Structure 1
Amino acid sequence: MSSVELERDGPILRATLSNPGRRNAITWPMYDALEQLEPTVAGDRGIRVVVLRGAGGEAFAAGTDIRQFTEFTIGAQGVDYEHRVGRVLASLLRIRVPVVAVVEGPAVGAGLALAACSDLVVATPDAVFGAPVARTLGNTLPPVVLARLFQRLGAGRTMAMVLSARLLSATEAAAAGLVSDVVERAPLDEHVDELLARICANAPLTLESLKEIERRVLRDGADAAADDVLAAVYGSHDFRAGVAAFLRHERIEWEGR
């Protein structure tokens, strides 16, 4: 059965996309589970980072499970589907902590959208990214997905990719800025663990504030209002403790308050 398997590993929440035999294609129950990640993290201040990964190591996610589209008989069902996906992506973007996607193999269609909604993407050299719907299904992409791809890949590269229905290699995706690191499979787990450790060692309020300000800048531009975020960080216990520790040349354990 398909599922999103959750594992709490200290301050790390690992969410594994699992749809055996379907290259982790996303089903309706998996979409529902992904939408619950945001409230789960919001309710647990001990979580410092979320990791998205495909089960089995052969694929991140090969889009939506196509078997579900056989239920569609009218256009309104497609509209409802895209709205549903949009709610899931919006919830992922609201997650207060950094989200790291680990991509092995294809991240296609909805899998590409999930990777694009992550803050950092670590990919193996065999990873590929794309949304070749013009060649495969004959459906289309909604504004929320194109907008996020424009932000992460650029409008020109995105349109060239989707209009030609081609897949980007991990190297191309890294050059465009979607992929943070391209790592061979052998040291992949070690690399990811080191990255997660660095994130968890950072000031959580700073990371949360950077994500919130990014959301506002992408929505409103450089004039986005953020005084409330700035005041919360500069008025925090962690900031005062950080200044004191820095001046004493001491290491600090961030408390997130």
Structure 2
Amino acid sequence: MSSLEVERDGAILRLTLSNPGRRNAITWPMYDSLQQVEPTVAADPGIRVVVLRGAGGEAFAAGTDIRQFTEFRTGEQGVEYEHRVGRVIASLLRVRVPVIAVVEGPAVGAGLTLAACSDLVVATPDAVFGAPVARTLGNTLPPAVVARLHQRLGAGRTTAMLLTARLLSATEAASAGLVADVVERDGLDAHVAELLDRICANAPLTLASLKEIERRVLRDGAAAEADDVLAAVYGSRDFQAGVAAFLSKQRAEWEGR
């Protein structure tokens, strides 16, 4: 049985892609569950960070579960599938808290897309990233996916990767800016735990504002309007508490309001 396993761990929402025997390939129900992450986080101010990981440690996600494509008979079904993926991407990009992807092994096809939708990617040295559909299935990618790959990998590297149908190593993905840290497996859990502690200790309104401003900048460039976001942060109790704590050389206690 495939599923998106969801676990609340204090301020952390842990999501695990699980499709045993299929390298965690993503099924329709898993896509539906991923689209529920945004409203779940929006409804719970106690969540400070989301962690996305593949079950079993052998793969992050090896694309969409190909068995589902045997149902396709028309081009319109392919269009609806890609629209479905687009809705998931849009939803994940709207999540108000940082999303951390922990990638072990392949993050291919839809797995690459999910990693690219995350704010920070931590990968093991054996991780690989790509969308070799030109060599494997003969399908294609929608504008939403290509646009996100351009943002995270760069247009030139994305085009070369897709046209040659090759996979990028963790080191290459790090040099491109997609991967933040490459960590050996024996130190991975400790590294991720430290990263989560650092994020959870930060001001939640600041983190949410930075994500929202980035969304607007990617859409509108330097001319993006964000006065509402700036006003909300500077008018918050957390900002007042932060100034007072800094001046008194104390550590601020963030309330998220």
Tell me the TM-score normalized by structure 1: 1.00
- Which structure 2 residues correspond to residues 25-174 of structure 1 after superposition, within 5 A? 25-174=25-174
Q: Deviations over 1:103-139 (max 9, x none)?
A: 0000000000000000000000000000000000000
SS of equivalent residue, structure 2 residue 140: coil
Work out whether 1:19 is the aligned partner of 2:19: yes
Whole-angstrom CA distance in 1 between matches of 2:252 and 2:151 = 35
Which residue type is aligned with residue 75 of structure 1? G
Whole-angstrom CA distance in 2 between matches of 1:254 and 1:157 = 40
Residue 253 of structure 1 deviates from its aligned partner by: 1.4
SS of equivalent residue, structure 1 residue 25: coil
Q: Deviations over 1:62-102 (max 9, x none)?
A: 00000000000110000000000000010000000000000
SS of equivalent residue, structure 2 residue 134: helix
Residue 226 of structure 1 deviates from its aligned partner by: 0.1
Tell me the TM-score normalized by structure 2: 1.00
Residue 252 of structure 1 deviates from its aligned partner by: 1.2
Work out whether 1:3 is the aligned partner of 2:3: yes
Work out whether 1:239 is the aligned partner of 2:239: yes
Aligned residues: 257
SS of equivalent residue, structure 1 residue 197: helix
Residues 123 and 183, structure 2, Cα contact 8 Å, conserved in 1: yes
Residue 223 of structure 1 deviates from its aligned partner by: 0.6
Whole-angstrom CA distance in 2 between matches of 1:222 and 1:148 = 18
Q: Deviations over 1:193-251 (max 9, x none)?
A: 00000000000000000000000000000010000000000000000000000000001
In the TM superposition, structure 1's runs of 4+ consecutive aligned residues that sit over 4 Å from their partners are: none
Q: What percent identity do the matched residue pairs reach?
A: 85
SS of equivalent residue, structure 1 residue 7: strand
SS of equivalent residue, structure 1 residue 8: strand
Which residue type is aligned with residue 197 of structure 1? D
Whole-angstrom CA distance in 1 between matches of 2:250 and 2:111 = 42
- Give the root-mean-square deviation of aligned CA atoms: 0.3
5+ unaligned residues in a row in structure 1: which ranges? none
Residues 18 and 54, structure 2, Cα contact 8 Å, conserved in 1: yes
Whole-angstrom CA distance in 2 between matches of 1:236 and 1:253 = 13
Whole-angstrom CA distance in 1 between matches of 2:165 and 2:177 = 20
Whole-angstrom CA distance in 1 between matches of 2:216 and 2:145 = 18
